[in-house]
């Protein structure tokens, strides 16, 4: 491209895209937020990196979260995990974690080439908490699927607003909702409690909340470049821990690579060069 190597940023081939935001690939982010803010993001990453490297296992947060992920997936049989940031600026954070976790640990073969005999990988999904409350929280509370939840909240808002009456804080209302949802998932509401409140007998069974639904709450003082860096690094190391326990390689993505290879073969055919000969009738008929 005619770019002077002096003006190029190096990028090692062993850095996967899903782990690259704090590398030279983050140049676009630095241009958008400024060098100082990007430095704060990197400092946040380092806080968790050093914690993960030096803190004993029994107090090591990424290790504990990774073990919880393995327990929920391989022992309790949970098939997915919902991420609920109570901050609209993190609206795309669950999608970010989808690639990080699912591309890393969506594997069925161990490092030594043998097939795993247990469930691996977590299906990540989610929405900002208040959106989710009116969309899928019903399933979390009373559905037949076990879905561990991650609540992410902040002590202060970067753009707080007063309540309608003007005497309160909308951020406090937001946090009250987060704490309430986590409480109900954990402790539910029994038939005895409902009857004591005078709920008609015909409604009791419908209003019982079983509780005992696993969730984790992550709290930070405020959403900032530093806390975002810590949050991303927390999940990065957690994903790594899960991969180690499962005995899989969290740093390859052969399923993705095969799809790219097949696309390069089919693209000329779609452009009119030759007839479909993909080797399977279903693909050939779709192309025709």
Active site positions, annotated:
103, 134, 260
Provide the sign of the torsion angle of the four alpha carbons 154, 157, 160, 165, taken in this order.
Answer: positive
Distance of CA 30 to the CA centre of its chain: 23
Phi, psi for 115 (deg, rounded to 5): -75, 140
Nearest CA-CA partner of 126 in 115, 138, 137, 114 = 137
Strands in 149-156's sheet, in edge-to-edge order, are 123-126, 80-85, 149-156, 215-222
Half-sphere exposure of 250 (CA within 13 A, CB side): 24
Any idea of the CA torsion for 168, 170, 173, 179, to the nearest 10 degrees?
Answer: -130
- With contact defined as beta carbons under 8 Å apart, do 149 and 81 qualify? yes
Nearest CA-CA partner of 140 in 72, 225, 215, 204 = 215
Collapsed DSSP state (helix, strand, coil) of residue 134: coil
């Amino acid at each position: 491209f005619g770019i002077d190597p002096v003006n190029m940023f190096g990028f090692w081939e062993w850095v996967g895209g899903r782990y690259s935001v704090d590398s030279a690939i983050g140049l676009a982010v630095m241009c958008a937020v400024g060098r100082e803010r990007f430095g704060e993001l990197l400092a946040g990453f380092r806080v968790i990196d050093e914690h993960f490297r030096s803190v004993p296992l029994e107090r090591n947060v990424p290790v504990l979260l990774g073990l919880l992920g393995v327990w929920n997936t391989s022992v309790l049989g949970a098939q997915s995990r919902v991420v609920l940031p109570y901050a609209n600026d993190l609206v795309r954070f669950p999608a970010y974690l989808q690639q990080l976790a699912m591309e890393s640990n969506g594997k069925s073969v161990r490092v030594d080439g043998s097939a795993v005999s247990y469930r691996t990988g977590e299906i990540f999904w989610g929405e900002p908490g208040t959106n989710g409350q009116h969309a899928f929280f019903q399933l979390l509370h009373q559905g037949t699927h076990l879905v561990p939840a991650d609540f992410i909240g902040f002590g202060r808002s970067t753009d707080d607003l007063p309540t309608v009456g003007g005497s309160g804080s909308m951020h406090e209302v937001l946090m009250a909702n987060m704490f309430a949802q986590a409480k109900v998932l954990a402790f539910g509401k029994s038939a005895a409690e409902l009857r004591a409140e005078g709920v008609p007998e015909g409604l009791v069974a419908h209003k019982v909340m079983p509780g005992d639904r696993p969730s984790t709450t992550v709290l930070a003082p405020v959403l900032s470049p530093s806390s975002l860096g810590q949050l991303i690094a927390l999940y990065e190391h957690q994903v790594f821990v899960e991969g180690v326990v499962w005995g899989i390689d969290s740093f390859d993505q052969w399923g993705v690579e095969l799809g790219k290879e097949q696309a390069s073969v089919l693209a000329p055919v779609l452009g009119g060069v030759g007839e479909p000969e993909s080797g399977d009738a279903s693909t050939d008929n779709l192309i025709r």
